[in-house]
């Protein structure tokens, strides 16, 4: 083989360099990540959904992705510090389910938040309906895992449990400790022995439906004028039932930890990290 | 003997605000002769039993006897009424009401529309805050008009205030948003359901650094307040729970009803907090 001349070497090096430049993929955008999510989620994408972009430019090249329960301002501040400019949030950004902002235009907090998003080139996209629609539900898979109760699920992926029978007070304490929550509240007799534990919802209908075939249910963010009063009446009427109320955030946040892992599997270009928005509440008595 | 309908007529006459047709007899019959009146936050089976034991058959309550109601608008009232009507608890409660010829008058909207806010006054008095009121009116009877919800407190912190309130109201399921050492010197009372516009309105008041509220929706006013703090404002939100925040107002209802129905005894019977919590020390359920 003929020895390389200086010129040959320069050409080869340059083409290698060029090859390298060409081979390096263009930075992935938020829009592309969402396309991959839609392709991978495994459930049909709905026409009517809250899973849409909430803020920022979808074509923004990404430096990193953060998944979270809720894109609160403090969460966004941490994301920006950690160079995660795409936020996948389970819950709304602007304080209502549909993220309507008409009434907020002149609000100083809204203005501060949108300005922060703009200044840091953040993109916020909501991932609620379809993550819940997966089988098993992506959110409650995380809840079950954090509770450490997979082994007690009546069927895998249901987040409905038959646990070893013991007093409600013990179960409540375990839930409080496992979920590291500071705002757990319980309705029912602390001495009641419970085994079948269901997962409720925010509303009275869920409470009634789930309690019908469970001793106790765990529910996040219930409306206090119906579910707790109903369960209390059920107990007063002689039924052996209980309700454990936890913060919405402690109920659903862990499902976004799973989500980060899942997104990472098809977005290798940028770091993907779960960033908890954190429980908003604390109880001075606990 | 006066009947329920006659009591309602007198209430209409004395209200000083238009009667809201959603304030209505929710159980029992209007032509029932009244033997005595009990006011309460929620007509739980326990409250009904206490009323019967004391020989009082008219229960005037904020909440509905069968839990589901639509007083706060559709967004917060997921369907539950139909399911509720099929539960054994419903049947037991209905039978108890019929057997003892009880009448439940659900009364909150008209009460809240009065010139003096009885809910705020009740809570202020229960807290011992009358002397701290910033209300322009000098006499207690004229205080707590619309917007008169501010109290200048001796300087304290979020944690100390939370503990003080928990002790005064004997509330266990208290939840706080904000840093424990945040200074507090001026607080607003906002009993009941707290929505984003309520928080915005209160925070327009100069110098207010804490809100004592009832119940937020955890994807609405809760995160809004979280963002208020993250945007650099040092504020505290103390949530008493719907019942604990609204119950003292039922004492005010009793005081208002007394001169309207001098023929019968009128008594406030608190429904009591539905929740208990798991405290720090092992085995302490309080």
A45 and chain B in contact, CB less than 8 A: no
Give the pLDDT confidence score for residue B75 in this predicted structure: 62
pLDDT-derived band at B76, boundaries 50, 70, 90:
low
Distance from CA of A257 to the nearest CA of B (A): 19
Q: Kindly list the residues from chain B whose CB atom is less than 8 angstroms away from the CB atom of residue A244.
A: none
Give the pLDDT confidence score for residue B282 in this predicted structure: 57
> Which of A95, A171, A216 to probe the B interface (max B CBs under 10 A)?
A95
User: Residue A273 pLDDT > 80, yes or no?
Assistant: yes
Q: What Cα–Cα distance (Å) separates residue A147 from each residue in A140, A280, B67, B220?
A: 10, 20, 30, 26
Distance from CA of A278 to the nearest CA of B (A): 11
Cβ atoms of residues B209 and B236 within 8 Å: yes
Distance from CA of A24 to the nearest CA of B (A): 39
Per-residue pLDDT tens digits for A130-158: 999 999 999 999 999 999 999 999 998 89
Give the pLDDT confidence score for residue B284 in this predicted structure: 58
- What's the rounded mean pLDDT across residues B89-101? 98
Give the pLDDT confidence score for residue A13 in this predicted structure: 47
Per-residue pLDDT tens digits for B32-61: 999 999 999 999 999 999 999 999 999 999
Distance from CA of A238 to the nearest CA of B (A): 9
User: Residue B100 pLDDT > 70, yes or no?
Assistant: yes
Tokens of B150: 């501010």
Nearest Cα neighbor of A187 from A231, A246, A223, A226 is: A231
Whether B89 sits inside 8 A of A237 (CB atoms) is yes
- What's the rounded mean pLDDT across residues A74-91? 98
What does pLDDT average to over chain B?
A: 94
User: Residue B276 pLDDT > 50, yes or no?
Assistant: yes
Pairing verdict, β B24-27 and B103-106: antiparallel
Q: What is the separation of C-alpha B187 from the centre of its chain, rounded to a whole number of angstroms? A: 18
Give the pLDDT confidence score for residue A3 in this predicted structure: 46
- What's the rounded mean pLDDT across residues B249-271? 98
Minimal Cα distance from B215: which residue of A? Answer: A224
Tokens of A165: 């029978």
Give the pLDDT confidence score for residue A11 in this predicted structure: 47
Cβ atoms of residues A226 and B67 within 8 Å: yes
Give the pLDDT confidence score for residue A17 in this predicted structure: 47
For B92, residues 6+ apart whose C-beta sits below 8 A from its C-beta are: A237, A238, B45
Whether A234 sits inside 8 A of B176 (CB atoms) is no
> Which of A221, A231, A285, A286 to probe the B interface (max B CBs under 10 A)?
A285
Residues A146, A131: Cα–Cα separation, whole Å: 17
Q: What Cα–Cα distance (Å) separates residue A131 from each residue in A98, A135, B29?
A: 17, 9, 49
Distance from CA of A229 to the nearest CA of B (A): 7
Question: ipTM > 0.90?
Answer: yes
User: Residue A12 pLDDT > 50, yes or no?
Assistant: no
Residues A276, A249: Cα–Cα separation, whole Å: 9
Residues B11, B15: Cα–Cα separation, whole Å: 6
Whether B278 sits inside 8 A of A286 (CB atoms) is yes
Tokens of A93: 């950004």
pLDDT-derived band at B20, boundaries 50, 70, 90:
very high
Q: Kindly list the residues from chain B whose CB atom is less than 8 angstroms away from the CB atom of residue A73.
A: 226-227, 230-231
Give the pLDDT confidence score for residue A83 in this predicted structure: 98
Whether A74 sits inside 8 A of B230 (CB atoms) is yes
Q: Which of A109, A204, A225 sits opposite B224 (nearest CB)?
A: A109
Give me the residues of B, 12-71, that contact A with CB < 8 A: 42, 44-46, 63, 67-69
Per-residue pLDDT tens digits for A205-242: 999 999 999 999 999 999 999 999 999 999 999 999 99
> Which of A103, A224, A245, A248 to probe the B interface (max B CBs under 10 A)?
A224
B228 and chain A in contact, CB less than 8 A: yes
Number of cross-chain residue pairs from A and B with Cβ atoms under 8 Å apart: 196
């Amino acid at each position: 083989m003929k020895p390389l001349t200086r010129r040959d070497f320069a050409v080869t090096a340059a083409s290698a360099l060029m090859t390298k430049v060409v081979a390096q993929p263009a930075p992935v955008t938020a829009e592309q990540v969402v396309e991959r999510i839609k392709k991978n989620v495994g459930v049909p994408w709905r026409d009517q959904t809250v899973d849409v972009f909430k803020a920022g430019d979808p074509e923004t090249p990404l430096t990193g992705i953060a998944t979270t329960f809720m894109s609160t301002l403090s969460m966004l501040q941490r994301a920006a510090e950690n160079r995660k400019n795409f936020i996948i949030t389970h819950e709304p950004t602007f304080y209502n389910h549909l993220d309507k902002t008409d009434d907020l235009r002149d609000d100083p907090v809204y203005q501060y938040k949108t300005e922060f998003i703009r200044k840091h080139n953040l993109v916020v996209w909501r991932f609620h309906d379809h993550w819940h629609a997966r089988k098993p539900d992506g959110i409650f898979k995380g809840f079950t895992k954090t509770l450490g109760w997979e082994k007690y699920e009546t069927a895998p992926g249901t987040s409905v449990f038959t646990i070893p029978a013991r007093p409600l007070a013990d179960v409540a304490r375990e839930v409080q400790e496992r979920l590291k929550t500071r705002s757990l509240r319980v309705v029912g007799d602390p001495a009641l022995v419970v085994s079948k534990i269901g997962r409720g919802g925010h509303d009275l209908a869920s409470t009634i439906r789930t309690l019908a075939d469970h001793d106790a249910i765990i529910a996040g963010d219930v409306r206090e004028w119906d579910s707790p009063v109903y369960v209390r009446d059920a107990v007063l009427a002689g039924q052996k039932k209980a309700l454990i109320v936890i913060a919405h955030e402690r109920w659903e946040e862990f499902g976004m930890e799973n989500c980060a892992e899942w997104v990472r599997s098809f977005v290798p270009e940028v770091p993907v990290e779960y960033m908890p928005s954190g429980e908003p509440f604390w109880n001075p008595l606990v | 003997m006066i009947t329920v309908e006659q009591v309602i007529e007198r209430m209409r006459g004395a209200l000083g605000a238009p009667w809201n047709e959603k304030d209505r007899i929710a159980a029992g019959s209007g032509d029932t002769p009244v033997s005595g009146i009990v006011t309460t936050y929620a007509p739980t089976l326990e409250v009904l039993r206490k009323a019967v034991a004391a020989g009082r058959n008219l229960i005037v309550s904020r909440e509905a006897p069968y839990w589901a109601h639509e007083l706060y608008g559709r967004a917060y009232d997921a369907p539950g009424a139909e399911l509720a009507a099929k539960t054994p608890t419903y049947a037991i409660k209905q039978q108890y009401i019929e057997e003892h010829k009880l009448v439940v008058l659900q009364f909150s909207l008209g009460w809240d529309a009065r010139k003096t806010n009885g809910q705020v006054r009740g809570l202020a008095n229960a807290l011992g805050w009358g002397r701290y009121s910033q209300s322009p009116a000098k006499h207690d009877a004229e205080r707590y008009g619309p917007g008169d919800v501010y109290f200048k407190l001796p300087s304290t912190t979020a944690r100390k205030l939370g503990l003080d309130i928990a002790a005064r109201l004997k509330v266990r399921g208290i939840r706080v948003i904000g840093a424990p050492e945040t200074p507090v010197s001026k607080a607003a009372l906002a009993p009941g359901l707290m929505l984003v516009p309520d928080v915005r309105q209160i925070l327009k008041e100069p110098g207010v650094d804490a809100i004592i509220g009832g119940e937020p929706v955890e994807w609405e006013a809760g995160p809004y307040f979280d963002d208020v703090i993250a945007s650099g404002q040092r504020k505290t939100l103390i949530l008493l729970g719907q019942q604990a925040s609204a119950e003292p107002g039922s004492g005010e209802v009793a005081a208002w009803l007394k001169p309207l129905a001098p023929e019968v005894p009128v008594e406030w019977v608190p429904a009591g907090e539905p929740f208990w919590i798991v405290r720090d020390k092992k085995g302490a359920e309080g």
